[in-house]
Every structure is written in structure tokens, then in C-alpha cells.
Amino acid sequence: MERSEFFDGAAGDDALTLSLDGWEGPLDLLLTLARNQKVDLREISILALVDQYLAYLDGAKSLKLEIAADYLVMAAWLAYLKSCLLLPSDPVADPSPEELAWRLQQRLARLDAMREAGARLMGRDRLGRDVFARGNPEGLRLVRSSAWQSTPYQLFAAYGLVEARTQPVMHVVAHRAVMALDEAIERVARLLGGALDWTRLEAFLPASLDPGYARSALASSFVAVLELARQGRLELAQEAPFAPLELRASGR
Amino acid sequence: MTEFERAVEAVLFAAHEPLSPDEIARHVGEGDVGAALATLAERFIGHGIDLVTRGGRWHFQTAPDLAHLLRRTREEPRRLSRAATECLAIIAYHEPVTRAEIEAIRGVQISRGTIDVLMEAGWARTAGRRESPGRPLLYATTPDFLSHFGLGSRRDLPGIDDLKAAGLLDPLDEEALALSLESAGDED
Amino acid sequence: MTEFERAVEAVLFAAHEPLSPDEIARHVGEGDVGAALATLAERFIGHGIDLVTRGGRWHFQTAPDLAHLLRRTREEPRRLSRAATECLAIIAYHEPVTRAEIEAIRGVQISRGTIDVLMEAGWARTAGRRESPGRPLLYATTPDFLSHFGLGSRRDLPGIDDLKAAGLLDPLDEEALALSLESAGDED
């Protein structure tokens, strides 16, 4: 799907084009896509929904957005579901693709129902907001013997604090895949070759599903491009602030 | 109005918290607390205050239609995040429920500021463990949850009968749980 | 009962302090507040609560002959201090446990009174002595502890994983919790 289609087409809603940060997980994204397709969740087309989800992720990838692992797990599962639905039906498949599709529909309906239930709860006549208890009760003669008060929340939280306080502090430097600057310069220079056409910076980036590595590659390649431009080996252009960076081999 | 009803009324007026009939009996002594509560509740119909029962406990509160006169005198109660709101609904409609089930329904791991906020508000509590592999901890709502949201019991949860009939409150299938577990652990 | 009387009744009920007719009028708007108050006061004659005026201000109060039901002193049940709460939690998770062990786990010394408070509350008890040099006293929780905190048994205590998922295992929240535990002055 083209990027323009991605922006103007299936999504429609502005919120859909922003980022993955706005979603409370892949199911939330799926539910919103399904809702945009049909108001009645029982009438949605699962195949169309799968395509919309995968297109959305592609769009996010092309924007170099970080994609959390659970979105990719869902994407893989949906791609699998789609292939099952398109293949000639296998009578021994258990569960059948239709069953899997129905389960997905049911999961969406369940999340939708809970979301609505939450909204209806919040909208009730709530004690302390809409209805009020006595403002200044005199209080009753104590019948219970315990003069001390504490709640399970306070007990558990106190233990959590003790644990957190006394656990040895460990600093773990996670291994992160990075693209070194030297490597980026070498890579961009090699790919640029003698290209005389304006080409977007993104085209020089390696395909990677690792968002950390993708970001590192973007940053290193950008600095590499600046360095190569300084050396006069390429030309750099940008039509407007935040517009795509384009480059071509220097004419010299 | 009998002396016994007067005493029950006074106790409920003076109490800091909703009271069960047993707790009321401890203050007022011998008598049919249930009958007195029913008489009192009827007597206050049409008043500016109602005698209501929530999860088996009784308290007086102002009539809902007068909210507009009273609201500005108080501050807005805590505002829950979207995640916490959904989590509360899931606990209320499915209780008792494990963390894995909550996560499977929402399709995302529970983060800080969700269950802890509900527990701190006094609306959610731990409710023992399920006797299944791993003995996962269970969560449920509290009597204060019913009082706060004006529910006589969990049967009064909005739409719960329809949801049950549609199978939307059935136990989750293995696969849904598995999907949510697969993604667990590789956060951050 | 008129709508106006209902409104006056609700405002007085929800108020934190006695209100003058002018203050009531500010909530309920146009109407004869004086007449409504007189009607209401008469209506509550013979109830367990009276509508009374003191120095021009109106409020509900328990009928004098039922005052024995009320709290005699203004003293409220005291909140457990943070030190005592931590100490109780450690006993619950590690019982039976010695004072030295509690201090080692807590990483902070505990003052003399802390365990005494827990014993006075009926939540901790001594549980024999450890057969080691010095034969130190052992502490454990009581059945009252379980029932107060709504636990079926000690196995129902949330594990470290549960605490972590619920956002309760995080030093970042230390300040917020410290506020909620509002040290009662016997902090050590």
C-alpha cells in the first residue's frame, strides 16, 4: 500500500496516523480498525481487518516508528490466519480457520464490551461526586476492639517497598544492536555509488525489524550523509523543514 | 416510628461508613434490623436523602437528582486512566479474575498505575489464589466499589445479563491466554 | 414534601458544618428557606435524628436520648505507622521471624514500641524461641491479622511477581506511599 493511501485511505481518522504510542496494545488497535469498518462488530470482515492491521504496521514501519514486539506477534498471527482463510479448506484442521476468525471476533467484542462497561460505570451516580454521604457524621461508639487501622493495600505496598529497598541495585547494560558511524559512511557511500537521481535517505537504511537497530541506523546514516556532504561526495536537499531528506552523488 | 427504628436511623446517620445489619445490631441490640431498615427506606422515599443498600451494607445518601445543587461543594473524585477503567470493569464483570486473564482481555500487559490505583482507591482487592497450575493470585471488587458506583450488588452491573448471554463473560480460551503470554517478558 | 424542601434537606445532610439560611440559599436558589427549615424540623420530630438550630445555624444531630450510641470521645482509630506496617508485612511474609531478622530484611532498625503496637492491635504474637545462641523470641501473625486483611491464609499474600505487576514493587512510588501511610509519629 502506498503511503498516501495509508494516510488518506483506510485509516481516515487522524489518530490512526500518529504513532503506536497512542494504542493500548495490538488488540486496541485492531478494535479501532474494526470499529472504523463497521459499527456492529459481528459484521466485520476479518480478511479486510487483517489487511488493515498489516497495512497500518507497514505504514508505521515506513515512518520508522518503533514497533513493540507484541504488535509483531499479533501481525504474524494475523498473517497466519489470513493464509489459512485463503487456502482451500482443510477438513482436519483443528481449530478450523473459521473458528479462529470467530475467536478473534469474540475477543474484540469482549474488549469492546469491557470498554463500554467501564464508561457506563464511570457515568453512574457516584458517591462523592453525584450523591453524597453525610458530611459530618458524629461517629459511632467503638464496638470493635482494634484501635489500629491498616488496609491490605498498605500492607502489600509496604512489603513491596521493603523488597525494592533491599534488593541489590544492579545496573545491566543491555546489549543493543547499533550501526557504527564508520560502517554507515561506508554503507551510504557504497549504495550511493554514482546515483544521479535524488533519493530519499530512508532508501539507504537496512531493513530491520529491530526498532532499536533501525533508529541507530537512521541516526548514524544521517551523520554519515552530513559527513559525505562535507567532503563534497554527495549533495543534500530538503524542500521544507521536516520534509524528507534527499541525496544524490555529487556531480563532480 | 418505633424506638427501635429511631435507634437504627440514628446509628446509620452517625456512622462513618456503610453498615451491615449485623453491625447495626451490635449497636442497637435486640430487634428485627431487617424489618426496621425496610420501613426506614420506605419512609425516606421522596425525601432529599435516600436509605440505600449496596452489597448488603446500608447507608444514607443524597438523592441523585439533586446532584447539581451539591456537586460544586465537593472536589471531583479521582479520575481513572483508561487502562485502570478497563481493568476495573474486567475485574467487576469477571471476578474473581487473574492478572493473566485481565491481560488477555485487554491484549496488553498490565502496567504500573492500574491495579495499584484500584487497590488504593479501595475498589479492588486480592481474593485468594486459583487452584490451578501456578496458583495465580485472584482479584475481585470490594464492598466500597459497590457503594461508590451505586450498585446494590454485582447483578446490577450495567448490561451484565446481556453480556453473559452473548458469551462475552465466559472463561477465556487457551489460545487467547497463550497469545498474551507470548508477548509477555519482552516489554521495555 | 416539596422539591425545595428536598433540596434544603440534602444540602444540610451533605454539609460539613452547620449552615445559616443564607448559606443554604446559595445552594438551593430561590425560595423561602426559613419556611422549609421549619417544615423539615417538624417532620423530623420523633425520628432518631433532629434538625436543630444553634446560633442561627442549622444541622442534623442525633436525638439526645440516643446519644449513648455515639462515640464518647473524638478519638479515631489510629493509622498504623509506616515502620509498623513494614514490620507487620515482614512478619507476615517471613514468619516465624526474630527481631534481628526483621531488621535485617527491613535494612533499618525497629524501635521498641513497633512490635508492641502490632501485638496490641492483635495482629502479631510471639511464637516461641529460636534454638540458637541467645534463644531470640520469634514473631508470627495471628488469625485476627488474616481476617482483618481479608486473607484466607498466608498463602494468599501476593508474591513478589504479583506485587511487581500490580505496581507495588517500585521505589519510585515511595513518596506517594509514605504519604498514604502518613507516619503516626512513632517512626524510627
Confidence check: pLDDT of B141 > 60: yes
What confidence score (pLDDT) does residue B161 get? 95
What distance in Å separates the CA atoms of residue B131 and residue A195, rounded to the nearest whole number?
67
Residue whose grid cell is 426559613: C34
* CB contact at 8 A, B126 and B90: no
Nearest alpha-carbon partner for A129 in B52, B78, B144, B114: B78
What confidence score (pLDDT) does residue A144 get? 55
Q: Residue A154 half-sphere exposure, CB side, CA atoms within 13 Å?
A: 21
Q: Residue C76 half-sphere exposure, CB side, CA atoms within 13 Å?
A: 10
Nearest alpha-carbon partner for C50 in B35, A138, B73: A138
pTM for the model stands at 0.75
What rounded mean pLDDT belongs to chain C? 86
The B97-98 sheet, strands edge to edge: B97-98, B137-141, B124-129
What confidence score (pLDDT) does residue B7 get? 94
**Segment A20-60, tens digit of pLDDT:** 667 888 899 999 999 888 878 888 889 999 999 999 888 88
**Segment B18-70, tens digit of pLDDT:** 999 999 998 998 899 999 999 999 999 999 999 999 999 999 999 999 998 88
pLDDT above 70 covers a percentage of chain A that reads 83
Q: How far apart are the first and last CA of chain A?
A: 37
Q: CB–CB of B86 and A120 under 8 A?
A: no
Q: CB–CB of C168 and A157 under 8 A?
A: yes
What confidence score (pLDDT) does residue A53 get? 92
Q: What is the DSSP letter of B158?
A: T
What distance in Å separates the CA atoms of residue A16 and residue A14, rounded to the nearest whole number?
5
What distance in Å separates the CA atoms of residue C40 and residue C51, rounded to the nearest whole number?
7
Q: How far apart are the first and last CA of chain C?
A: 58
What confidence score (pLDDT) does residue A21 get? 66
Q: Which residues contact A184 (CB under 8 A, 6 or more apart)?
A: A217, A220, A221, A223, A224
- Enumerate the residues of chain B whose CB falls inside 8 A of the CB of residue C15: 73
Q: Which amino acid is at A119?
A: A
pLDDT band of A179, cuts 50, 70, 90: confident
Return per-residue pLDDT of chain C as tens, 188 residues: 899 999 999 999 999 899 999 999 999 988 999 999 999 999 999 999 999 998 899 999 999 899 888 766 555 678 899 899 999 999 999 999 999 999 999 888 888 889 999 999 999 999 999 999 999 999 999 999 998 898 989 999 999 888 888 888 764 445 555 555 544 344 44
**Partner residue facing A135 (CB), from C15, C93, C120:** C15
- Enumerate the residues of chain B whose CB falls inside 8 A of the CB of residue C155: 129, 135
Average pLDDT over residues A169-180: 65
**Closest approach of chain C CAs to the CA of A142, in angstroms?**
7
- What cell was used for A53? 492491521
**Segment A105-129, tens digit of pLDDT:** 999 999 999 999 999 999 999 998 8
* CB contact at 8 A, B175 and A103: yes
**Closest approach of chain A CAs to the CA of B133, in angstroms?**
23
**Closest approach of chain A CAs to the CA of C105, in angstroms?**
7
Q: CB–CB of C165 and B115 under 8 A?
A: yes
Residue B113 sits at the chain C interface (C-beta within 8 Å): yes
What confidence score (pLDDT) does residue B183 get? 44
Confidence check: pLDDT of B9 > 50: yes
What confidence score (pLDDT) does residue A114 get? 96
What rounded mean pLDDT belongs to chain A? 79
Please name the residue of chain A whose CA is at the shortest distance from the CA of residue C91: A159
Q: Which chains reach chain A with 3 or more Cβ–Cβ distances below 8 angstroms? A: B, C
Average pLDDT over residues B95-101: 93
Q: How far is CA B73 from CA A200, B139, C12, in A?
A: 60, 34, 12
Please name the residue of chain C whose CA is at the shortest distance from the CA of residue A159: C89
Residue B34 sits at the chain A interface (C-beta within 8 Å): no
Please name the residue of chain A whose CA is at the shortest distance from the CA of residue B26: A143
What confidence score (pLDDT) does residue A92 get? 74
**Closest approach of chain C CAs to the CA of A62, in angstroms?**
33
- Enumerate the residues of chain C whose CB falls inside 8 A of the CB of residue B129: 155-156
What residues of chain B, 76 to 115, have a C-beta less than 8 Å from chain A?
Answer: 76-77, 80, 82-83, 85-86, 88-90, 92-93, 105-109
Please name the residue of chain C whose CA is at the shortest distance from the CA of residue A157: C168
pLDDT band of B122, cuts 50, 70, 90: very high
Confidence check: pLDDT of A96 > 70: yes
**Segment A196-246, tens digit of pLDDT:** 778 888 777 777 667 777 788 888 888 888 888 888 888 888 887 777 788
Average pLDDT over residues A71-84: 88
Q: Which amino acid is at A87?
A: L
pLDDT above 90 covers a percentage of chain C that reads 59
What distance in Å separates the CA atoms of residue A118 and residue C173, rounded to the nearest whole number?
26
What distance in Å separates the CA atoms of residue A114 and residue A121, rounded to the nearest whole number?
10
Which region holds residue C89: left if phi is over 0, alpha if psi is between -120 and 50, else beta? alpha
Q: Which amino acid is at C157?
A: L
What confidence score (pLDDT) does residue C78 get? 82
